[in-house]
A and B are shown apart, each in its own frame.
Chain A
Amino acid sequence: MEISIPVIVVTIMNTLVLYFFLKKKFFVPVTDFMNERKNKIENDINNAQLQLAESEKLKKEYKEKLMNADDEGKKIIHSHKLKAEEISEDIILKAKKEAELIIERAKIDSEREKERAKDEIKNEIINLSIMTASKLINEELDLNKHHELIKDFIEKVGV
């Protein structure tokens, strides 16, 4: 088996041609392609994770806000209820007072009326008694003179 220089040279050339071809058309493009895809996937995953974390945060925030709003609403309703109760109690109290006042006044009025009626009756009685007495004794009683006397008498009797 002799060594043939032309075969060696041609084989080296073949290998080099194949090397340059495969490097340019096979290894470099495919490796670059795979690296690019790897980077893209890594980026996508990272972005997705970031976004997920952010949305998780927002969700928590909104939940908190919602809960706060709920609480606040309850508080508002409660305070308004209290105020309303106060007002109604106030109103009732005022009404009661007014009613009492009216009753009181009515009582006083009636008392006064009674007093006046009593006085009138007394006066009537006095007049009547004077009239009867003057008829009886045929003598004009001096109204002014005896008025005091009769009134005194009537009071003692307790009309």
Chain B
Amino acid sequence: MAENGLMILGINIPLSILIQWGVMVFIIVLVTVLTKRLETIPHGSQIWIELIVEKINDLVRANMGEKFIGFAPYIGTIMIYILMLNLIGLLGLRPPTTDYSVALALALISFVLIHATAIKNNGLRHYLKGYSEPFPLLLPLNIIERVVVPVSLSLRLFGNMLAGVIIVELIYKGLSYLSNMVHIKLPLFAALIPIPFHIYFDIFDGIIQMFIFSMLTMIFIKTTSEH
């Protein structure tokens, strides 16, 4: 992806990073403006802010229990962030999650968090003992099981998003090919036909992948620290 980036001060900054920065600035500005003053009786945008926070808190409480409610800000952050990164495809940009490095980075944070929580809650000894349960022969299998979590998390996100982008791109190519076949200079077919595919691959798939990623993170944190 590096070749798609921008040269700034002699450093090649990849597009997936630039888009992330754009999304970050967008989120930070939006949040700063919207939460400038909270009123006791909510009006307009404050209703949506409260709804989002409430839903995320409820989701974390329902999936992880009251004990792990402290994870709500992290889960909320990755939900908002991944959703924005996935939906950026609607602007004609390539979602950064189609860069495997980005997906892997997100999964690595979750991976570290999963194991840090497990060690913090159980102590290092008990945590390490967990690898040899139910009996020591399963040690290699347990290690693989743990290590494969970030890989599966990131590959799922990356694969789905990339597949969506490729399919939509192929549809555009095919439609412009069709337009050429019937000798129309304007990309007539490309105007309307891709809309349902955008809805499915960008909006639907983007939301679903965001949910799967955050749900699995929640469940892994809970089950690994409670095993």
Which A residues are closer than 8 A to B by beta carbons? 1, 3-5, 7-12, 14-19, 21-23, 25-31, 33-34, 37, 40
Contact = CB atoms under 8 A, between A and B. Distances in A.
Interface of B: 1-2, 14, 16-17, 20-21, 24, 27-28, 31-32, 35, 38, 40, 49-50, 53-54, 56-57, 72-74, 76-78, 80-81, 96, 99-102, 104-106, 108-109
Contacts of A5: 101
Contacts of B20: 10-11, 14
Contacts, number: 101
Nearest to A34: B50
Per DSSP, chain A at the interface is: helix
Per DSSP, chain B at the interface is: helix
A6 to B, nearest CB: 8
A17 B24 contact: yes
12 contacts: A1-B100, A4-B101, A7-B14, A7-B101, A15-B106, A22-B31, A22-B77, A25-B35, A26-B31, A28-B73, A29-B38, A40-B40
Contacts of A30: 35, 38, 49-50, 53
B38 A4 contact: no
A48 B158 CA distance: 55
A22 B100 CA distance: 25
A130 B73 CA distance: 155
A40 B40 CA distance: 10
Given A7-B14, A12-B105, A31 B72 contact: yes
A54 B54 CA distance: 36
Contacts of A28: 73
A37 B53 contact: no
Nearest to B96: A11
Nearest to A12: B105
Contacts of B96: 11
A19 B24 contact: no
Residue among B1, B16, B102 having the largest count of chain A Cβ atoms under 10 Å: B102
